[in-house]
Structure 1
Amino acid sequence: MPTQTLTFLIATERGTPAELTEERTKAAVPFGGKYRVIDFSLANCLHSGLRQILVLTQYKSHSLHKHLRDGWSLFNPELGEFITPLPPQMRVDGGWYLGLVDALRQNRYLIERNPARRLLLLDGGAVYRMDYAAMLRWHDEQQAQITAALRPVTDESAPSLYRVECSEDDQVLAVHGPATDHPPTGLAPMGVVVIDKDYLLEQLDQLVRASNGHCDTDFVASLLTSSAGARVSAYRFGGERGRVSQDRYWSDLGSIDAYYQAHMSLLESRPAIDLYQPCWNILTYQGQHPPARTVPGPGSGNEGVFVNSMLAAGTLIRGGAVNRSVFFPCVTIDDGAIVDGSILFDRVQVGAGAELNRCILDKDVVVSPGARIGVDRKEDRARFSVSPQGVVVVPKGARV
């Protein structure tokens, strides 16, 4: 099965939340204290036995390329294995990728020369755990030309502009949308689709014409609506198939509030997504940092404390207090500082006596002693971006 499947992992777009993708593509956004968003799709591929992966890149891709080099150079090319970034090669018309269909068109030569008989197309901007091997087996059992993974839509799940109508035997009948007034029910695409290579090559020119040169707002919905007459099957995410435990978690982190809530849910006694399942660990790049530790404040002698928080390697709490927060590597909290309900990216420094509440601080932010963020909403809005639910975002490298 692995050599019969060529995987395209889509990481071309800036994506949302815009406050965190100003300097990086969506797939490279940090998540969960040590990971990048793309690590979840790549880990799913690894555990599913998929070893031929092309990562489509475009928007501000240096951070993503570096992460792939440092964290995912683990496949053996002598065995035909690879994870290869694939920016636009401009072999066809010299243009950038205009969406997934156009990217497939531009890389048709790679598809044709690969011996795989089907393609797995993945959105690199979502967080979830899934056994793709089970979906590939379902695709073969159904003798489908296209199989789309669908997720149930609920009040808690990420919104979708599309709904997919299926028969009782899980054949796709219709795609409804885009629209903004759907009730929070039904099935929606989740950015995972299997397509037979021969069918794709036969229909690629037609799919390009159907896309009319525009970016795909939802590449799965675009493929499904442009594939009339094809044998299209639905694979229900979170069912009994597959080796991964079925926590049924999926999020595209589509807003600051969704991103923030996804992190706060990691701190629950029973988190929505299980990062601790030993047989389905999420791989990533980890720097050679010292262990996280707490020490007494140099001035006050108060013990550094943290409660119900995730602290990455290199974190140093010197007499400060941390509650219900997520820290990425090498964060420093100085004497008397209070951090509550916040997400701090790599190398953030919080000065003595500062106070942070419901904040997201991007990499290399320096908070001066005594500064306050997330305490006075009027002051916050004058300086920073504030989400509808009151989460303050401080941009990369800011001095507060």
Structure 2
Amino acid sequence: MILQPSYAIILAGGQGSRLLPLTNERAKPAVPFGGMYRIIDFVLNNLKNSRYEKIAIASQFMPDSLHDHLDNFWRYQNWDLRTYPAMKDPNRRSTEFTGTADAVYHTLQRISRKHNLRFDITDMQDHGFAENTLIFGGDHIYVMDVMQKEVFHNEKSADLTISAIPVRIEEAAGQFGVLVVDKTGRVQAFEEKPLKPTEMPGRPGYCLASMGNYVFRTQPLLEALVQDNEDPNSTSDFGKDVIPKMLNEGKAIFAYDFSTNIVRGTTDDERGYWQDVGTLRAFYDANMALLQKRPPLNIFNRKWQLVTLNQYSQPARHHDSTISMDALICNGAHIIASQVRTTIVSPGATLEEGCTVEESYLMGGDTIIGEGSKIRRAVIDKHVVLLPGTEIGYDEKIDKERGFTVEDGITFVPRRYVMK
């Protein structure tokens, strides 16, 4: 089936307050991940590898780091990528998007260069809109062949298709939207972050969680967004307002089983991997999982390459050092006579002589770990300078007195921390 190219909108304005201090100076999608990447790189690579060419990114919270990343790399890819930050609208007082649906509504308005969206399918095609519009969050870690999902959407003649994945009930409670579906996969109910999610039939202890990415038929999407924008009682959120209203109207909404998505070069064990990394512990665990012998996410898959900005052209250098097999040492890293175990060392990080670093993630960006320092179970952000002999991760009280965040025994050192 040959599909008309669809527009993909990425929602990248989230503050990510549960990831503080990593989001002190950047939006969640701009947080570094896996040594080389930013979180938003995963959805962008999914769209690029799936051969989508029209991308709009709606940004809001502290967008400078995100925009720099996009401007320095992603705009040079062979596609039409445009950024639409929240801005003053003459028809409202706020300069911020009030919700996910509001972000898409105003982004589509600016894409179409109109002040309202009341036009039929012929007009939409004249203004560059295809039959379908794709909406993705910019803050999840996963690989997906997006075209397979759109084919499923068209075969079902759906108005809306929601990617879904089984999640343990205790993990989903209060955190994820939950779908209730019939035997055909048609959605019967949508529960927005319920405290007691509905259990999946035949799978005790699990519910069907929304992954927060959608394929809409453009016509009903625009109709729903216009209605939502005119509703003074709406919070302008897809999960709370738009999707429940579409269900009540009898729209054809289907769940897309993400575990059926086949990405080139992946194994059966890797299929269905998806992480929200919405908490500090989840973020740390997802990074450490990359160091496993058979990681759940294969960032070295040459048939589905994950590309990103490469700011350091120099190779990694380690002199007279001991580095365990379960480590990622990125280009531009400099390690001098140190021991590194179960750790990610990002581009531009320097470990001076005699350091010991284990079970940690050093985000690089000219971070300097002073000689003889000992780091254990820590995430150290960019542009950090530690004095010689510093110990982090050994005494929680001292770490907190320095202003570090400690959660579940993991210490997080904020960006631009310079020890004096």
Question: Structure 2 length as normaliser, TM-score?
Answer: 0.87
Q: For residues 48-92 of structure 1, what are the alpha-carbon distances to aligned partners after superposition, in whole Å with 9 as ceiling and x for unaligned?
A: 11110000011111111111111212344xxxx311111135254
Q: Aligned letter for 1:131?
A: D
Q: Which moved more, 1:150-159 or 1:327-336?
A: 150-159
Conservation of the 8 A alpha-carbon contact between 2:399 and 2:406: no
1:223: how far off? Answer: 3.4
Cα 1:155–1:269 change in 2 (3 A) is farther
1:209: how far off? Answer: 5.1
Structural mapping, 1:46-61, within 5 Å: 46-61=48-63
Structural mapping, 1:298-317, within 5 Å: 303-307=320-324, 308-317=326-335
Q: Aligned letter for 2:33?
A: F
Q: For residues 102-153 of structure 1, what are the alpha-carbon distances to aligned partners after superposition, in whole Å with 9 as ceiling and x for unaligned?
A: 1232234325422311110000000100011000000000000011001110
Cα 1:336–1:156 change in 2 (3 A) is farther
For 1:213 and 1:222, the matched residues in 2 are separated by 6
Q: For residues 153-180 of structure 1, what are the alpha-carbon distances to aligned partners after superposition, in whole Å with 9 as ceiling and x for unaligned?
A: 0389776343210111110010124323
Identity %: 29
Alignment match, 1:208: 229
1:365: how far off? Answer: 0.6
Conservation of the 8 A alpha-carbon contact between 1:289 and 1:313: yes
1:206: how far off? Answer: 2.3
Alignment match, 1:93: 92
Could you list the runs of 5+ residues in structure 1 that have no partner in the other structure?
A: 296-302
1:279: how far off? Answer: 1.0
Cα 1:102–1:338 change in 2 (3 A) is same
Conservation of the 8 A alpha-carbon contact between 2:5 and 2:52: no
For 2:170 and 2:363, the matched residues in 1 are separated by 26
Structural mapping, 1:205-244, within 5 Å: 205-208=226-229, 212-214=233-235, 216=237, 219-220=238-239, 222-227=241-246, 228=248, 229-239=250-260, 241=262, 243=264
Conservation of the 8 A alpha-carbon contact between 2:133 and 2:216: yes
For 2:62 and 2:77, the matched residues in 1 are separated by 25
Alignment match, 2:180: 165
Structural mapping, 1:71-82, within 5 Å: 71-76=73-78, 81-82=79-80
Conservation of the 8 A alpha-carbon contact between 2:137 and 2:212: yes
Alignment match, 1:194: 215
For 2:172 and 2:306, the matched residues in 1 are separated by 22
Alignment match, 1:371: 390
Q: 2:143 aligned with 1:143, yes or no?
A: no
Cα 1:41–1:165 change in 2 (3 A) is same
Conservation of the 8 A alpha-carbon contact between 1:148 and 1:220: no
Q: Aligned letter for 1:340?
A: E
2:191 to 173, 176, 179: 176
Conservation of the 8 A alpha-carbon contact between 2:14 and 2:61: yes
Alignment match, 1:300: none
Q: 2:147 aligned with 1:128, yes or no?
A: no
Q: 2:362 aligned with 1:338, yes or no?
A: no
For 1:197 and 1:278, the matched residues in 2 are separated by 34
Question: Structure 1 length as normaliser, TM-score?
Answer: 0.91
Conservation of the 8 A alpha-carbon contact between 1:345 and 1:362: yes
SS at match of 1:65: helix
Alignment match, 1:294: 318
Q: Aligned letter for 1:104?
A: V
Q: For residues 310-354 of structure 1, what are the alpha-carbon distances to aligned partners after superposition, in whole Å with 9 as ceiling and x for unaligned?
A: 111111111111111111111111111111111111221111111
Alignment match, 2:379: 360
Cα 1:341–1:242 change in 2 (3 A) is closer
Q: For residues 337-389 of structure 1, what are the alpha-carbon distances to aligned partners after superposition, in whole Å with 9 as ceiling and x for unaligned?
A: 11111111122111111111111111111110011110111211222344431
Alignment match, 2:107: 107
For 1:353 and 1:269, the matched residues in 2 are separated by 29
1:186: how far off? Answer: 1.4
Cα 1:134–1:92 change in 2 (3 A) is farther
Q: For residues 274-297 of structure 1, what are the alpha-carbon distances to aligned partners after superposition, in whole Å with 9 as ceiling and x for unaligned?
A: 1111111111100133111111xx
Q: Aligned letter for 2:141?
A: V
Cα 1:394–1:175 change in 2 (3 A) is same
1:215: how far off? Answer: 6.0
For 2:399 and 2:21, the matched residues in 1 are separated by 15
Q: Which moved more, 1:258-267 or 1:373-382?
A: 373-382
